[in-house]
Structure 1
Amino acid sequence: MTSRIRGSGYGSGVDGPFRDILEVWHEHRAAVLFATTCLLAVVWFYLELRPRDKIATTIPKLDQETTSSITGDHGRISKEKIVLQGEKAKDVATGPRRIKGELRRTDSARKIPGSGQERRIQILVFYSSLTGSTERTANDVAEGLGASLGDQGDGSRGTFLRPLVLDLAQVDYDEYFISTPKQTDPNIPVDYFYLILLPSYNIDSINDNLLEHLRETHHDFRIDTAPLSGVLGYSVFGFGDREGWPSEDEGFCFQAKEVDKWMAKLTGRKRAYPLGMSDTKRDLQERLDEWMDGVKDIMNLVTRTGSLGEGVPGSGDAVESDDEYASGEDDEEVLVDESLTAKKSKKKEKSSNIDDVEDLGRIMKASQTGSKTSGSTPVAVDFTTYTKSATKKPFQPIKEMVPKNSPTYASLTKQGYSIVGSHSGVKICRWTKSALRGRGSCYKFSFYGIASHQCMETTPSLSCSNKCVFCWRHGTNPVGTTWRWVVDPPELIFDGVKAGHYQKIKMLRGVPGVRAERFAEAMRIRHCALSLVGEPIFYPHINEFLAMLHGERISSFLVCNAQHPDQLAALQAVTQLYVSIDASNKESLRKIDRPLHRDFWERFQRCLDILREKRRKQRTVFRLTLVKGFNVEDEVEGYADLVERGLPCFVEVKGVTYCGTSSSAGAGLSMANVPFYAEVTEFVEALNAKLNERGLAYGIAAEHAHSCCVLLASDRFKVDGRWHTRIDYQRFFELLEERGADGDWTPEEYMGSETPEWATWGNGGFDPRDTRVDRKGRKIEV
Structure 2
Amino acid sequence: MCTDYTGVRMIEKLLSYLVSDSLQVPVWTIVLAAAVVVAVVWEKRKPRTAQQTTTSQEQKPHAPTEQNVKPTVSKKNIDVSKFVRLKLKIFYGTTTGKSKLFAGQLAEEGGRKGYKIDLVDLATYEPEDDLSEIGTDTVCVFIVSTYTDGTPPESAAWFCKWLEEASTDFRMEKTLLRNMQYCVFGLGNSLYSDHYNTVGRNIDRWIHSMSGKRVTILGQGDEDVVNSRHGGIEEDFKAWRKIFWRKAGPVLTGRKTLMSVTGKSKEGCNDGEKCGGSCKCKDEGGACSSDEDQEGDEPLYETSSEEEDDDAESGGEEEGVVTQNPGGVVDLEDLGKVMKKMKTAKAARRAEESTVAAGGERKEMVTPQLRKALTKQGYRIIGSHSGVKLCRWTKSMLRGRGGCYKHTFYGIESHRCMETTPSLACANKCVFCWRHHTNPVGTEWRWQMDDPELVFSGALESHVSMIKQFKGVPGVIAERFAEGLNPAHCALSLVGEPIMYPEINRFVNMLHEKHISTFLVTNAQFPDAITNLSPVTQLYVSVDASTKDSLKKIDRPLFKDFWERFLDSLRALSEKGQRTVYRLTLVKAFNTDEIDNYARLVSIGKPDFIEIKGVTFCGDSKASTLTMGNVPWHEEVVKFVQQFAEELPDYEIASEHEHSNCLLLAHKKFKVNGEWWTWIDYPRFHKLIKEWTESNGERTFTALDYMAKTPHWAVFGAREQGFDPAETRYFRKNPKKDIGGC
Q: Which TM-score applies when normalising by structure 1?
A: 0.53
Q: Give the secondary structure class of the aligned counterpart of 2:680.
A: coil
| Partner of residue 362, structure 2 | 399
Q: Is 1:361 paired with 2:313?
A: no
Q: Distance in 2 between matches of 1:725 and 1:623?
A: 16
| Partner of residue 740, structure 2 | none
Q: Distance in 2 between matches of 1:102 and 1:749?
A: 55
| Partner of residue 504, structure 2 | 542
Q: Is 1:329 paired with 2:169?
A: yes
Q: Give the secondary structure class of the aligned counterpart of 1:745.
A: coil
Question: What is the letter of the counterpart of residue 657 of structure 2?
Answer: H
Deviation at 1:613, TM superposition (A): 1.1
Q: Distance in 2 between matches of 1:522 and 1:583?
A: 36
Deviation at 1:331, TM superposition (A): 7.7
Q: Distance in 1 between matches of 2:493 and 2:149?
A: 29
| Partner of residue 430, structure 2 | 468
Out of 611, 631, 634, the residue aligned to residue 674 of structure 1 is 631
Deviation at 1:716, TM superposition (A): 1.1
Deviation at 1:744, TM superposition (A): 1.2
| Partner of residue 376, structure 1 | 327
Deviation at 1:324, TM superposition (A): 11
Deviation at 1:776, TM superposition (A): 5.3
Out of 512, 515, 521, the residue aligned to residue 477 of structure 2 is 515
| Partner of residue 687, structure 2 | 734
Unaligned segments of structure 1, at least 5 residues? 1-99, 104-177, 180-215, 225-260, 270-306, 333-339, 345-350, 368-372
| Partner of residue 137, structure 2 | none
| Partner of residue 425, structure 1 | 387
Q: How big is each residue's C-alpha offset from its partner over 1:70-120, in whole Å with a ceiling of 9 and x where there is no partner? A: xxxxxxxxxxxxxxxxxxxxxxxxxxxxxx9999xxxxxxxxxxxxxxxxx
Q: Distance in 1 between matches of 2:533 and 2:416?
A: 25
Q: How big is each residue's C-alpha offset from its partner over 1:131-181, in whole Å with a ceiling of 9 and x where there is no partner? A: xxxxxxxxxxxxxxxxxxxxxxxxxxxxxxxxxxxxxxxxxxxxxxx99xx
CA 1:437–1:362 in 2, change beyond 3 Å: closer, same or farther?
same
Q: Is 1:772 paired with 2:735?
A: no
| Partner of residue 501, structure 1 | 463
Q: Give the secondary structure class of the aligned counterpart of 1:572.
A: coil
CA 1:217–1:309 in 2, change beyond 3 Å: closer, same or farther?
closer
Question: What is the letter of the counterpart of residue 415 of structure 1?
Answer: Q
Out of 691, 716, 738, the residue aligned to residue 648 of structure 2 is 691
Deviation at 1:753, TM superposition (A): 2.4
Q: Is 1:647 paired with 2:606?
A: yes
Deviation at 1:754, TM superposition (A): 2.9
Question: What is the letter of the counterpart of residue 491 of structure 2?
Answer: A
| Partner of residue 754, structure 1 | 710
Structure with higher Rg: it is 1
| Partner of residue 434, structure 1 | 396
Deviation at 1:588, TM superposition (A): 0.5
Moved more, 724-733 or 748-757: 748-757
Deviation at 1:474, TM superposition (A): 2.2
CA contact (8 A) 2:314 2:328 kept: no
Q: Give the secondary structure class of the aligned counterpart of 2:571.
A: helix
Deviation at 1:407, TM superposition (A): 1.2
CA contact (8 A) 1:623 1:651 kept: yes
Q: Give the secondary structure class of the aligned counterpart of 1:657.
A: coil
CA 1:509–1:308 in 2, change beyond 3 Å: closer, same or farther?
farther
Q: Is 1:702 paired with 2:655?
A: yes
CA contact (8 A) 1:466 1:594 kept: yes
Larger RCO (alpha carbons 8 Å, 6+ apart): 1
Q: Distance in 1 between matches of 2:170 and 2:152?
A: 16
Out of 394, 401, 419, the residue aligned to residue 457 of structure 1 is 419
Q: Distance in 1 between matches of 2:95 and 2:326?
A: 65
Deviation at 1:752, TM superposition (A): 1.1
Deviation at 1:672, TM superposition (A): 0.7
| Partner of residue 585, structure 1 | 547
Q: Distance in 1 between matches of 2:410 and 2:154?
A: 32
Question: What is the letter of the counterpart of residue 747 of structure 1?
Answer: A
Q: How big is each residue's C-alpha offset from its partner over 1:219-263, in whole Å with a ceiling of 9 and x where there is no partner? A: 976999xxxxxxxxxxxxxxxxxxxxxxxxxxxxxxxxxxxx979
CA 1:501–1:687 in 2, change beyond 3 Å: closer, same or farther?
same
| Partner of residue 409, structure 1 | 371
CA contact (8 A) 1:431 1:453 kept: yes
Q: Distance in 2 between matches of 1:646 and 1:663?
A: 34
Q: Is 1:630 paired with 2:580?
A: no
Q: Distance in 2 between matches of 1:421 and 1:441?
A: 30
Q: Distance in 2 between matches of 1:313 and 1:415?
A: 22
| Partner of residue 663, structure 1 | 621
Q: Give the secondary structure class of the aligned counterpart of 1:769.
A: coil
Q: Is 1:568 paired with 2:530?
A: yes
Deviation at 1:659, TM superposition (A): 1.7
The correspondence of residues 207-218 of structure 1 with structure 2, limited to 5 A, is none
Deviation at 1:510, TM superposition (A): 3.2
Out of 487, 496, 500, the residue aligned to residue 525 of structure 1 is 487
Q: Distance in 2 between matches of 1:417 and 1:455?
A: 16
CA 1:721–1:262 in 2, change beyond 3 Å: closer, same or farther?
same
Q: How big is each residue's C-alpha offset from its partner over 1:284-324, in whole Å with a ceiling of 9 and x where there is no partner? A: xxxxxxxxxxxxxxxxxxxxxxx999979997468899999
CA contact (8 A) 1:382 1:596 kept: no
Deviation at 1:487, TM superposition (A): 1.0
Percent of aligned positions that are identical: 48
| Partner of residue 580, structure 2 | 620
CA contact (8 A) 2:385 2:424 kept: yes
Q: Give the secondary structure class of the aligned counterpart of 1:765.
A: coil
CA contact (8 A) 2:712 2:718 kept: no
Q: Distance in 1 between matches of 2:380 and 2:166?
A: 19
The correspondence of residues 130-529 of structure 1 with structure 2, limited to 5 A, is 264=123, 316=156, 326-329=166-169, 358=307, 360-361=309-310, 363-364=312-313, 375-377=326-328, 394-396=354-356, 397-403=360-366, 406-529=368-491
Deviation at 1:779, TM superposition (A): 14
Q: How big is each residue's C-alpha offset from its partner over 1:30-67, in whole Å with a ceiling of 9 and x where there is no partner? A: xxxxxxxxxxxxxxxxxxxxxxxxxxxxxxxxxxxxxx
Q: Distance in 2 between matches of 1:409 and 1:320?
A: 22
CA 1:264–1:541 in 2, change beyond 3 Å: closer, same or farther?
same
Q: Distance in 2 between matches of 1:402 and 1:520?
A: 35
CA 1:439–1:324 in 2, change beyond 3 Å: closer, same or farther?
farther
CA 1:378–1:564 in 2, change beyond 3 Å: closer, same or farther?
farther
- Identify the structure with the greater helix proportion: 2
Q: Give the secondary structure class of the aligned counterpart of 1:658.
A: coil
Q: Give the secondary structure class of the aligned counterpart of 1:458.
A: strand
Question: What is the letter of the counterpart of residue 626 of structure 2?
Answer: L
CA contact (8 A) 2:352 2:362 kept: no
| Partner of residue 9, structure 2 | none
CA 1:487–1:698 in 2, change beyond 3 Å: closer, same or farther?
same
CA 1:590–1:552 in 2, change beyond 3 Å: closer, same or farther?
same
Deviation at 1:738, TM superposition (A): 2.3
Deviation at 1:366, TM superposition (A): 5.3
Q: Give the secondary structure class of the aligned counterpart of 1:734.
A: helix
CA 1:767–1:391 in 2, change beyond 3 Å: closer, same or farther?
closer
| Partner of residue 15, structure 2 | none
Deviation at 1:755, TM superposition (A): 3.2
Q: Distance in 1 between matches of 2:155 and 2:94?
A: 22
Q: Distance in 2 between matches of 1:664 and 1:390?
A: 30
Q: How big is each residue's C-alpha offset from its partner over 1:379-413, in whole Å with a ceiling of 9 and x where there is no partner? A: 99999xx99x999974343334345x621111111
Q: Distance in 1 between matches of 2:406 and 2:553?
A: 29
Deviation at 1:758, TM superposition (A): 4.2
CA contact (8 A) 1:468 1:594 kept: yes
